[in-house]
Amino acid sequence: MRCYAARLAWYITWYDWHRHFSACTPCKQQTCLVGHGRRLLHEQTMPPIDRKPVCLSCPAPLLATELVAPVRWEGTDGFNLGYAHLRCLSRRASVT
């Protein structure tokens, strides 16, 4: 069981990243330094067991060299936060 502060840091950095990404055009086309920085910050808050995030869409691992987007989707118990490759997102435009 993770402590509350660690979960909170994970949430906050995810939403920071998502907020930037949704307003940033370069993030959706190429590497954006700001977006990449927020992704790295977020990855630092992941517990070791989650350090190998996978894409929601393919689902292959997300490599550091690949363009990744934070995505939110509605599940049975509310919103889930996750990630997807940009190339996969363009095929599934409904994921926001």
When binding is defined by CB under 5 A, the residue of 9, 16, 24, 72 that contacts Zn ion is: 24
Q: What is the DSSP letter of 66?
A: S
What are the backbone dihedrals phi and psi of residue 84, each rounded to the nearest 5 degrees, phi first?
Answer: -150, 155
Residues between 29 and 58 with contacts to Zn ion, criterion CB under 5 A: 32, 34-35, 55, 57-58
| Residue 85 sits in the site that holds Zn ion (CB under 5 A) | yes
**Least Cβ distance, residue 66 to Zn ion (angstroms):** 8
CB nearer Zn ion, residue 55 or residue 71: 55
Amino acid occupying residue 75: G
Q: What is the DSSP letter of 81?
A: E
Residues whose CB is less than 8 angstroms from the CB of residue 64 and which lie 6 or more positions away in sequence, other chains included: none
Paired residues of 85 in beta bridges: 68
| Residue 69 sits in the site that holds Zn ion (CB under 5 A) | no
Which residues bind to Zn ion, rule: CB under 5 A? 24, 27, 32, 34-35, 55, 57-58, 85, 88
